[in-house]
């Protein structure tokens, strides 16, 4: 039995915003086999909160429910045929360490997703993505245990309902599952994705003409270290808002009065969100830059006490030290309100708000 329960535990070191919140009960699970018994034990109380590395969550209060931290370890090669390689990782594995391990196995596919904080198990929740690649594109299947009734189930990609920073697990029909293992399909050889952000410039600056997956991973890490605040130094959860997906006609009207409005075509992986944005008539949809909208409202570098907006990234909210989660959430609400008032666009938070 690898199940440890503690009471009255501070979560400050367990969330990348570094805000204080106390868990009345914190249960750490290393063996997925223990989850069925745990579900039975928790059945009569409030639905538990599943926690990974805490890098995409904002505690605005002490969580009123038990907190279950999934710490299931392990990573292995499951199949290796015709250049396609199936790998599996326990949900508790740190994501970046897992990416490094796949690179050490000479596997291609996750290099653009290097250095994303958090655990493997949280990856599918918002279909993590960076530098032109999303988890959805490498995904094979996952195993999850229902914390409602202890049943274990395998989900394939279609059942996960991936969209832009979205999956079924963020919606009512998919809640209550603890992901315990994730399987991804990688390759021995595959085209590298170099056309996003500054990857090519970075490789050029390093004098690399024919990059390997290792080189791309190193370039992505260098860019990320330069651009994004380190949560160990400045509390944050990466992008605080999702880029809004709107009807193309809405984007056109906005662009007519806001010169320079960045607009991006919606990729097939965004279909879920795009369909929701375009509603029943399914007109073309467009992705806008939440960071641009926020910056235009004058928030970049803004600070209220210890809650603030990063000076170089209008999309990243930060804790300068002693901000509470409620103060950060209040600032986020004011930012969203100003964007709605000026542009008529509704911003949705990316992190889970508790
Ligand atoms: C500096 C920084 C940069 C970032 N950059 C990126 C980026 O480039 N791309 C990107 O997509 N994200 C990015 N993020 C966000 C974050 O790293 C990811 O969302 C990550 O997947 C969260 O992992 P976690 O283990 O910390 O999840 P947590 O914060 O612990 O949880 C997030 C959500 O997932 C749920 N959850 C966690 N584990 C499980 C599980 N095993 N089973 C079921 N539900 C679970 C939680 O209940 C919660 O709703 C960044 C964050 C930071 C701080």
pLDDT tens-digit readout, 128-141:
999 999 999 999 99
Tell me the best of 122, 167, 350 to mutate to test the pocket of ligand 1, counting ligand atoms within 8 Å of each CB and taking the most.
Answer: 122
| Length of the chain, in residues | 354
Q: Is residue 337 annotated as a catalytic residue, yes or no?
A: no
Which residues pair with residue 285 across a beta bridge?
A: 247
**Closest atom of ligand 1 to CA, residue 113:** 8
From 11-20, 46-55, 80-89, the region with the lowest mean pLDDT: 80-89
Q: How far is the CA of 342 from the centre of ligand 1 (A)?
A: 30
- Give, in words, the CATH class of 3-70: alpha beta
How many helical (H) and strand (E) elements, i.e. helices and strands, does the chain have?
9, 20
Q: How far is the CA of 324 from the centre of ligand 1 (A)?
A: 20
Considering the domain 235-353 in this protein, what is its CATH number?
Answer: 3.90.78.10
Its pTM stands at: 0.94
Of the candidates 96, 93, 98, 88, which has an alpha carbon nearest to the alpha carbon of residue 154?
A: 88
* Sequence spans of domains, the chain: 3-70, 75-187, 235-353
User: Are 60 and 353 spatial neighbours (Cβ–Cβ below 8 Å)?
Assistant: yes
Of the candidates 280, 279, 289, 331, which has an alpha carbon nearest to the alpha carbon of residue 310?
A: 331
Q: Is residue 239 annotated as a catalytic residue, yes or no?
A: yes
How far is 131 from 152, CA to CA, in rounded Å? 33
What are 286-322's pLDDT values in tens digits?
Answer: 999 999 999 999 999 999 999 999 999 999 999 999 9
Q: Is the CB of 178 under 6 A from ligand 1?
A: yes
Looking at the chain, the whole-number percentage of residues with pLDDT higher than 90 is 89
Helix runs in 35-106, H state only: 35-42, 95-104
Which residues pair with residue 87 across a beta bridge?
A: 77, 184
Q: Which CATH number fits domain 75-187: 3.40.50.12140, 3.40.190.10, 3.90.1150.10, 3.30.465.10?
A: 3.30.465.10
Which residues pair with residue 49 across a beta bridge?
A: 67
Mean pLDDT of the chain: 93
How far is 241 from 41, CA to CA, in rounded Å? 36
């Amino acid at each position: 039995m690898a199940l440890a329960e503690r009471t009255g535990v501070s979560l400050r070191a367990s969330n990348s915003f570094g805000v204080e919140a106390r868990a009345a009960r914190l249960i750490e699970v290393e063996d997925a086999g223990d989850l069925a018994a745990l579900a039975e034990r928790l059945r009569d109380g409030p639905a538990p909160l599943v926690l990974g590395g805490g890098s995409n969550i904002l505690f605005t209060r002490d969580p009123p429910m038990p907190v279950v931290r999934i710490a299931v370890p392990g990573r292995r090669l499951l199949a290796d045929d015709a250049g396609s390689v199936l790998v599996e990782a326990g949900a508790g594995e740190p994501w970046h360490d897992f990416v490094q391990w796949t690179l050490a196995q000479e596997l291609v596919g996750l290099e653009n997703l290097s250095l994303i904080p958090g655990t493997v198990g949280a990856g599918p929740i918002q279909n993590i993505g960076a530098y032109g690649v999303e988890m959805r594109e490498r995904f094979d299947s996952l195993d999850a245990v229902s914390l409602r009734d202890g049943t274990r189930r395998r989900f394939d990609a279609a059942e996960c309902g991936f969209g832009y920073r979205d999956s079924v697990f963020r919606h009512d029909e998919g809640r209550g599952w603890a992901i315990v293992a994730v399987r991804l399909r990688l390759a021995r050889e595959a085209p590298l994705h170099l056309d996003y952000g500054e990857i090519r410039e970075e490789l050029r600056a390093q004098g690399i003409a024919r990059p390997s997956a290792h080189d791309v991973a190193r370039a992505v890490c260098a860019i990320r270290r330069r651009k994004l605040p380190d949560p160990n130094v400045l509390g944050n959860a990466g992008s605080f808002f999702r880029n809004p997906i709107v009807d193309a006609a809405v984007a056109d009207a906005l662009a007519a009065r806001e010169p320079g409005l960045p607009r991006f075509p919606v990729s097939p992986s965004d279909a879920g969100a795009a369909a929701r944005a375009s509603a029943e008539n399914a007109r073309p949809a467009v992705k806008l830059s939440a960071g641009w909208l926020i910056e235009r409202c004058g928030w970049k570098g803004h600070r209220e006490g210890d809650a603030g907006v990063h000076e170089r990234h209008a999309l990243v909210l930060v804790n300068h030290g002693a901000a509470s989660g409620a103060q950060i959430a209040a600032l986020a609400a004011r930012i969203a309100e100003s964007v709605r008032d000026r542009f008529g666009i509704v911003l949705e938070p990316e992190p889970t708000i508790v």
